[in-house]
């Protein structure tokens, strides 16, 4: 008996809900596969998502600190692009980080755990480097370091820690195996 690709109740007592099945179909839509079919395309989407995240956060920071209303225009353009890139990344990982655990098989659970572990290490290194720069600048009395309010450091750190697993999963995703013709029984 073959299991349907749209229904994967793996949770034992927890059966897939209507929402689970709908999200599984969205995250595994065959029509969207050409967008992220190769590692190069997935890397490009991850790069675009990182750039869009940085640009969006920069606009928000400038909007808040300078109180310039014109910054709403680029923000209004960036947010939909960021959302589309997020959707493409989620599709490229086949919903690895968005689907509930009961909808993932053992291999996908292991991939999600691996992406989370790598993302945790990468975020820790980046946060340690940032902390080191601030500590060093304070120690040497660097006047050239712009005064950055702690709230913005925390906002950027939060965004990075939140999105790092998605970026890592997008970079680690493997190409789909070529479909093999089914043998007649």
Q: Is 12 part of a structural domain of the chain?
A: no
Whether residue 8 is contained in a domain is answered as no
pLDDT > 80? residue 105: yes
Q: What is the mean pLDDT of residues 152-171?
A: 91
The number of C-alpha atoms within 13 Å of 92 and in the hemisphere containing its C-beta is 28
Domain range for residue 138?
18-172
Bridge partner residues of 14 (DSSP): 11
Q: Look at residue 96 and tell me if it is in a domain.
A: yes
Residue 41 in any domain: the answer is: yes
pLDDT of residue 137: 75
User: Which has more pLDDT, 49 or 181?
Assistant: 49
Residue 95 lies in a domain: yes
Q: In this structure, is residue 2 part of a structural domain? A: no
Question: Domain count of the chain?
Answer: 1
Confirm whether 9 is domain-assigned: no
Please state the φ and ψ torsions of residue 171, each to the nearest 5 degrees.
Answer: -75, -30
Distance between CA atoms of residues 95 and 84, nearest Å: 14
pLDDT at 182 over 90: no
Rg, Å, the chain Cα set: 21
98 within some domain: yes
Give the residue, 117 or 38, on which the prediction is more confident.
117
Q: What's the average model confidence in pLDDT over 108-133?
A: 91
């Amino acid at each position: 008996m073959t299991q349907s690709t749209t229904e994967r109740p793996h949770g034992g007592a927890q059966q897939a809900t209507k929402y689970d099945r709908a999200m599984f179909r969205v995250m595994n839509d065959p029509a969207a596969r050409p967008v992220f079919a190769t590692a190069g395309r997935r890397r490009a989407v991850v790069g675009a998502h990182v750039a869009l995240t940085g640009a969006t956060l920069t606009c928000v920071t400038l909007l808040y600190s300078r109180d310039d209303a014109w910054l709403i225009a680029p923000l209004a353009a960036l947010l939909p692009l960021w959302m589309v890139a997020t959707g493409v990344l989620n599709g490229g990982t086949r919903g690895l980080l968005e689907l509930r655990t009961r909808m993932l098989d053992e291999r996908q659970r292991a991939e999600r755990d691996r992406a989370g572990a790598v993302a945790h290490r990468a975020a820790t290194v980046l946060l340690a480097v940032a902390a080191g720069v601030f500590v060093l600048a304070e120690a040497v009395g660097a006047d050239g370091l712009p005064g950055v309010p702690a709230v913005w450091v925390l906002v950027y750190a939060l965004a990075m820690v939140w999105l790092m697993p998605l970026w890592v999963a997008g970079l680690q995703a493997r190409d789909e195996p070529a479909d093999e013709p089914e043998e007649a029984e």
